[in-house]
Amino acid sequence: MSIYEAVFTVLKTGIKFIQYREKRASRREIYEEAIKLRRLTRHFNATLIINDHADIALAVDADGVHLGQEDLPLKEARKIMGKKIVGISTHNLEQAKEADEGGADYIGFGPVFHTTTKDAGVPVGVDKLRIIKQNVSIPVVAIGGISLENIESVVDAGADAVAMATAICRGDMAGNAERLVKFFRSKRVK
């Protein structure tokens, strides 16, 4: 299944936030795929965030960019992105506070659990997630090893959102995404 087909599949279920992360393709290929994903996410009124590349995010009129600790500094990304979304990956309290104070719109925090998607380091667990949430004023997106089996503990620890790749893409993608949407809808009602 292509990236486009996968994104189409999850958007049909009600997912409203897509982060396009591609590490192996050329920047030209990333740009071309991002253009297609921008059209698709607009059709579903969903947010599109481009990983790592502020220039590509602007070129395709994505909603924002997500940067890691080794990417463009937040201050410089904000100059480029203006009022668009800038998210930052964080792995400890110091990085989280720095991103909050520096003007990030949200932080990704983790890995909360062991993940096979990438080498993200030692899992931090939900207790550290809770501490992060108590010490920053911006939304916290929990990342790393989050599944339909452990998502409740992550939300209970205060995560505003979750980033999930393997838990959605492995197996029945549409069914997994539907279960995730159903979970969050049930949380809003309570």
Give the pLDDT mean for 81-90.
Answer: 97
Give the pLDDT score at 59: 97
Tell me the one-letter amino acid at 98: E
Give the pLDDT score at 188: 64
Give the pLDDT score at 118: 58
Say how many CA atoms lie within 13 Å of 183 toward its Cβ: 19
The rounded percent of the chain whose pLDDT value lies above 90 is 82
Q: Please, what is the average pLDDT of the chain?
A: 93
Instruction: Look at residue 170 and tell me whether its pLDDT is greater than 90.
Output: no
C-alpha to C-alpha distances, 6 to 15, 30, 68, 126, nearest whole angstrom: 12, 16, 24, 29
Note the pLDDT tens digit of each residue in 106-161: 999 999 998 766 565 789 999 999 999 999 999 999 999 999 899 999 999 999 99
Give the pLDDT mean for 40-62.
Answer: 97
Give the pLDDT score at 186: 86
Give the pLDDT score at 68: 95
Q: Would you call 108 exposed, middle or buried from its count of C-beta atoms within 10 A (0-12, 13-18, 19+)? A: buried
Sequence-distant (≥ 6) Cβ neighbours of residue 49 within 8 angstroms: 17, 18, 19, 20, 57, 62, 63, 64, 65, 66, 85, 87
Contact 34, 56 (CB under 8 A): yes
> Strand, coil or helix: what is 97?
helix
Per the CATH hierarchy, to which homologous superfamily does domain 3-185 belong? Aldolase class I (3.20.20.70)
Catalytic residues: 21, 89, 118
* DSSP calls for 161-179: EEE-SHHHHSS-HHHHHHH
Instruction: Look at residue 1 and tell me whether its pLDDT is greater than 90.
Output: no
Give the pLDDT mean for 94-98.
Answer: 97
Note the pLDDT tens digit of each residue in 5-34: 999 999 999 999 999 999 899 999 999 999
Give the pLDDT score at 96: 97
Give the pLDDT score at 6: 94
Give the pLDDT mean for 46-66.
Answer: 97
Give the pLDDT score at 82: 96
The rounded percent of the chain whose pLDDT value lies above 70 is 96
